[in-house]
Amino acid sequence: MSETHAHSAAFVRTEILPPAAPPPGQTGVLRWIRENLFSSIPNALLTLLALYFVYTILAAILPWTLNGIWDAGSLSECRAIRDERGLTSAACWAVINERWLQMLFGFYPIDAPLMARLFYADELAAAGGMDAVFGPGSNATDRIEFVAAMRADLGNTLVFFFGYWRPLAALALLVVAVAPVLYSSLPRSLLLFSLVYPFIAVFLLWGGSIWGPISVALGLALSLYVLKIVGARFGGLFGGLAMIVTLLCVFLNPLAPLGISGLFPLLPHVSGLLGSILPIGLPAITSDDFGGFMLAIIIGTSGIVLSLPLGIVLALGRQSSMPLIKWVCVTFIEVIRGVPLIVWLFTASLLLNYFLPPGTNFDLLLRVIIMVTLFASAYLAEVVRGGLAALPKGQYEAADSLGLDYWKSMRLIVLPQALKISIPGIVNTFIGLFKDTTLVVFIGLRDPLGLTNAIRATGEWNGIYWELYIFVALLFFTFCFFMSRYSMYLERKLATDRR
């Protein structure tokens, strides 16, 4: 300020004022409400209408939910308790309290001998000991009554942790196996466990001899070793053919069309020999006993893990300059994508065995996993193709200018960028795949929705609907919400809005 102006002004402050808080109503919640909910008359009317709508919904749902009855043996008992309390409506959560284990695991058998040894030793001794109750010559009726009494005495919590320790261990190890794939900050050496985990999970869930999964792993390792050795000496084409022949010899009988059997496949002979030398295993459980949310996790996780690499290969094949590979991939994608999943599930259930060699009997759950994987891979191929098409041509030219061959340019330059762009679409396909696992109820598998029908068919819980469906919805929402949150975390980490 000039000296002349300073003398003409009535007052000039010579010191700096300390910072002061903003005026009331210009910050915080009140300002947000005024600017976002009541900024104008139409906005205020819409806000009031929305608040009335939300109040109406909550006024009907909250009393029904919070006044729920947790301890009852049947729907009629729930209604009697509700009338005693003078309530007009109340949820009967007792069905969840009684049947949540069945909703999670279906009819998967509990490890009754282990629980009897740990928590029911006196009653087990009174019943005649382990052999008398669970031995080969034991009476089935007595065993069922003993297990039912033990479950009733011990309660669902102990049964959950000790009776179902095999699926719980498989789920816990799944988290360990998936963690290094999802989070790059973890040691890369954990990826070795991720490769071994499928064989451990099969052994824990299905049981049987431990040498079965080990023999399968050895067969796959032998095939890859043959590919490496033959490919290094005679080229990739002969290496691939040698690997296919090895796989056929290990897992199938290539001489079956000639009517020759006995030597192939090698897998049963190797696992049988190892099992006779060192018999180690768990009680075998058939796929018919699998059910509940565990079934959805098995099908969904397997489909997600297997469909992603297959979808990437199909996307690359569709963009190939080789006509045969391109049209094979295009035909596969269009045929699989153009037919509803339920049709493919019926095909897996009823028709697939007609196209397999005589004597081949695939497990129904394995057939479903194969079909779900193929179906999801067709959709993923199109999602990845969109990411490939979004890359500027300069990226391909940059890879060529570095002298990289096709696979190195895809692995080091093109695919990392294309997959980064495709993350939302890929996760969206995974979420859809996981929810579509409920369709297996139409081919006889006991998914969570199928078990709700079985529970409602009993005399105790006939007529109950909402509580079961809400429980199933919460289970699926929790799993899908985690996938959605991880997708957002990955997008922020990779900064997908910048290329």
**pLDDT of 180:** 87
Between CA 326 and CA 409 the distance in angstroms is 19
pLDDT at 285 over 80: yes
Closest CA to 78 of 58, 93, 64, 66: 93
Query: What's the average model confidence in pLDDT over 88-92?
Result: 90
Cβ(418)–Cβ(390) under 8 Å?
Answer: yes
pLDDT-above-90 percentage for the chain:
41
pLDDT in tens, 363-408: 888 889 989 999 999 999 999 999 999 888 888 888 888 888 888 8
pLDDT at 103 over 60: yes
Between CA 442 and CA 421 the distance in angstroms is 36
| 10 or 433, which is more confident | 433
pLDDT in tens, 297-334: 999 999 999 999 999 999 999 988 889 999 999 999 99
pLDDT at 120 over 60: yes
pLDDT-above-70 percentage for the chain:
94
Give the up-direction half-sphere exposure of residue 447: CA atoms within 13 A in the CB hemisphere: 24
14: enclosing H helix or E strand: none
pLDDT at 23 over 80: no
- The chain-wide mean pLDDT, for the chain, equals 87
DSSP string, 107-156: TPPP-HHHHHHHH-HHHHHHTT-HHHHHSTTS-HHHHHHHHHHHHHHH-H
Report residue 203's pLDDT band, with 50, 70 and 90 as the boundaries: very high
DSSP string, 251-308: HS-TTGGGT--SS--HHHHHHHHHHHHS--EE----GGG-BHHHHHHHHHHHHHHHHH
Cβ(332)–Cβ(378) under 8 Å?
Answer: yes
Report residue 1's pLDDT band, with 50, 70 and 90 as the boundaries: very low
Provide CB contacts within 8 A for 304, sequence distance 6+.
Answer: 376, 430, 433, 434
pTM to 2 decimals?
A: 0.84
Give the up-direction half-sphere exposure of residue 173: CA atoms within 13 A in the CB hemisphere: 20
Report residue 257's pLDDT band, with 50, 70 and 90 as the boundaries: low
Report residue 191's pLDDT band, with 50, 70 and 90 as the boundaries: confident
Cβ(299)–Cβ(369) under 8 Å?
Answer: yes
**pLDDT of 428:** 92
Q: Provide the token pair at 236.
A: 């990739």
Report residue 355's pLDDT band, with 50, 70 and 90 as the boundaries: low
CA angle centred on 174, ends 170 and 175, rounded to 5°: 125
Task: Enumerate long-range contacts of 267-276, CB under 8 Å, 24 or more apart.
Answer: 267/215, 267/216, 267/219, 270/211, 270/215, 270/218, 270/219, 271/209, 271/211, 271/212, 271/214, 271/215, 274/209, 274/211, 274/214, 274/215, 275/209, 275/211
Between CA 246 and CA 219 the distance in angstroms is 8
Query: What's the average model confidence in pLDDT over 77-102?
Result: 92
Q: What sign does the dihedral 14-19-20-23 (CA atoms) show?
A: positive
pLDDT at 362 over 90: no
Q: Provide the token pair at 160.
A: 């959950």
Report residue 248's pLDDT band, with 50, 70 and 90 as the boundaries: confident
pLDDT in tens, 472-498: 999 999 999 999 998 888 888 877 555
Query: What's the average model confidence in pLDDT over 287-292?
Result: 89
Query: What's the average model confidence in pLDDT over 242-248?
Result: 85
Token pair 């049988």 in the structure block, residue: 272
Lowest mean pLDDT among 8-17, 136-145, 250-259, 451-460: 250-259
Report residue 250's pLDDT band, with 50, 70 and 90 as the boundaries: confident
**pLDDT of 13:** 80
The CA radius of gyration of the chain, in Å to the nearest whole number, is: 31
Query: What's the average model confidence in pLDDT over 255-273?
Result: 76
Query: What's the average model confidence in pLDDT over 59-65?
Result: 91
**pLDDT of 4:** 53
**pLDDT of 80:** 93
DSSP state of 364: H
**pLDDT of 6:** 54
**pLDDT of 314:** 93
pLDDT in tens, 45-61: 999 999 999 999 999 89
DSSP string, 374-388: HHHHHHHHHHHHHHH
pLDDT at 166 over 60: yes
